[in-house]
Every structure is written in structure tokens, then in C-alpha cells.
């Protein structure tokens, strides 16, 4: 996986009426990856297929959060797995050799090593800053990204990441920043996405 830049993660605002327009706005802002994460209500197959098609129209890989079978049925490019969401080996078996499989590693380098050995395509760490989406999530530090470089996998930073605080995370080793509210909570979704993606187009 060689993608570098903004990874937008949907929330409930993207899963109901008008949700596709919000996702399209983020894609027009330059988002490089899209994760379908809609916990309440759960993401329907119809909505997942619609958003997968939308992502593909922009040439953007679409990842389903948690649900390996939904990813398969929706024609998504892969799945993102948390600690209790399924097995990386199982996901590879179901989705195929070319699927993108991401793993939440929180603030654990040990978990990251295990996920890398099991074949994860990218390793996600965070939260790095106070987060509206997961306020109780364990805190990670940029030093963790520095240490994780040795694992040879793309590193994703998530959790309260804003254009004004993302720079040190990118410098530490994050090739991707994942964002929920920073994009989908903005009045100008396209402009917000563009501000994040711009970080990867300018020297730090």
C-alpha cells in the first residue's frame, strides 16, 4: 500500500439521507482513502455499495470498518479491524491477496508487530489528541510512530488530528492521517479535506 494523505472515516452523518453528498464533498477535497464506519445505525449493504461505487469513481480505495463479510458483499477494497473485530488471516482468506487490511494498534507497538506479522497492510495508531469520536481512547505519542517505522508498513495516525497539529505526526512517520469529525463536522467539507491533503503536498 503506497497511499499517502488523508483517510476519511464516515460517521452517522454519512450513512443516512444526504450522506453520499457529504462523502463526495470529502473526495472532491482530495481524500485518498475512504473508510465506511457507521455504528448506529449499522451500515446497510445498499449504502455500502453506493459509497464503494462513489469512492471508486474518484479512484479512491474504500475500506469497511469491522465487517469482513460486508466488505466482501459490497465490493470494497478491504477491511479495517480493531482488537475484537476479527482475524487478519481470516480477512485475507475471505477478501483475497490484493485486499487492503488495516489494523488498529492503539498505543501498542506489540500489537503492531503482531498485526504486521499476520499480514496487515497498514497499522493505525491513536488517539494522539482529544477526540470527539473516541474521547476515552488510549493516548498515543509521536515517539510510537518513530518506533513503528521499523515494521515496514504504512502508518496511520488517528484521533483528534487537525491540519494545525498533524505536522509532527507526519514528520514522525505517519504517511496517512485518518479523520472523522475534522472533515465531516466541518461546514465546508471539501475545504476541510483539502486542508488536510495539502499537508502532504508541501515540505514540512
**What is the pLDDT, as a whole number, of residue 152?**
96
Catalytic residue among 22, 32, 92, 104: 104
Per-residue model confidence as pLDDT tens digits over 25-71: 999 999 999 999 987 777 899 999 999 999 999 999 999 999 999 99
**What is the pLDDT, as a whole number, of residue 43?**
83
Judge whether 18 and 46 are in contact, CB under 8 Å: no
CA–CA separation, 110 and 151 (whole Å): 11
Judge whether 48 and 74 are in contact, CB under 8 Å: yes
Judge whether 76 and 63 are in contact, CB under 8 Å: yes
- Higher per-residue pLDDT: 174 or 18: 174
Q: Is the pLDDT of residue 202 over 70?
A: no
- Average pLDDT, integer, range 137-153: 95
Decide if 134 is catalytic: yes
Catalytic residue among 93, 134, 149, 150: 134
- Domain region containing 129: 5-198
Length of the chain equals: 204
**What one-character-per-residue DSSP string does 167-201 give?**
HHHHHHT-SEEEESHHHHTSSSHHHHHHHHHHTTT
**What is the pLDDT, as a whole number, of residue 120?**
97
Domain-located, residue 203: no
| Element spanning 55, H or E | helix 45-57
Q: Is the pLDDT of residue 1 over 80?
A: no
Q: Is the pLDDT of residue 138 over 90?
A: no
Domain-located, residue 194: yes
Strand 33-36 versus strand 62-65 pairing type: parallel
Per-residue model confidence as pLDDT tens digits over 166-198: 999 999 999 999 999 999 999 999 999 999 999
- Average pLDDT, integer, range 8-22: 92
Judge whether 14 and 38 are in contact, CB under 8 Å: yes
List the grid coordinates of 22: 457529504
Judge whether 141 and 174 are in contact, CB under 8 Å: no
- Average pLDDT, integer, range 117-124: 97
Average pLDDT of the chain is 94
Query: 143: domain CATH number?
Result: 3.20.20.70
Domain-located, residue 52: yes
Question: Over the range 4-22, which residues count as b (16 or more CB within 10 Å of their CB) and which as e?
Answer: bbbbbbbbebbbeeebbeb
**What is the pLDDT, as a whole number, of residue 166?**
97
The total domain count for the chain is 1
**Beta strand segments in 56-200, E:** 62-65, 78-81, 100-106, 122-125, 155-158, 176-179
Catalytic residue among 37, 92, 127, 194: 37
List the grid coordinates of 116: 504486521
Domain-located, residue 204: no
Decide if 104 is catalytic: yes
Q: Cis omega (within 30 of 0) on the bond before 41?
A: yes
Amino acid at each position: 500500500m503506497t497511499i499517502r494523505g488523508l483517510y476519511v472515516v464516515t460517521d452517522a452523518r454519512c450513512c443516512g439521507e444526504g450522506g453520499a453528498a457529504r462523502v463526495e464533498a470529502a473526495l472532491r477535497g482530495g481524500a485518498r482513502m475512504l473508510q465506511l464506519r457507521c455504528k448506529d445505525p449499522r451500515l446497510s449493504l445498499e449504502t455500502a455499495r453506493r459509497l464503494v461505487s462513489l469512492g471508486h469513481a474518484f479512484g479512491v480505495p474504500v475500506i469497511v470498518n469491522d465487517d469482513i463479510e460486508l466488505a466482501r458483499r459490497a465490493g470494497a477494497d478491504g477491511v479495517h479491524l480493531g482488537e475484537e473485530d476479527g482475524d487478519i488471516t481470516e480477512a485475507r482468506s475471505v477478501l483475497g491477496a490484493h485486499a487492503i487490511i488495516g489494523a488498529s494498534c492503539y498505543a501498542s507497538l506489540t500489537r503492531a508487530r503482531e498485526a504486521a506479522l499476520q499480514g496487515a497492510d497498514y497499522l493505525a495508531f491513536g488517539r494522539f489528541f482529544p477526540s470527539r469520536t473516541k474521547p476515552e481512547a488510549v493516548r498515543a505519542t509521536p515517539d510510537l510512530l518513530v518506533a513503528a517505522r521499523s515494521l515496514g508498513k504504512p502508518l496511520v495516525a488517528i484521533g483528534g488530528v487537525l491540519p494545525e497539529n498533524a505536522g509532527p505526526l507526519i514528520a514522525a512517520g505517519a504517511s496517512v492521517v485518518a479523520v472523522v469529525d475534522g472533515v465531516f463536522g466541518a461546514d465546508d467539507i471539501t475545504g476541510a479535506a483539502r486542508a488536510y491533503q495539502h499537508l502532504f503536498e508541501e515540505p514540512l
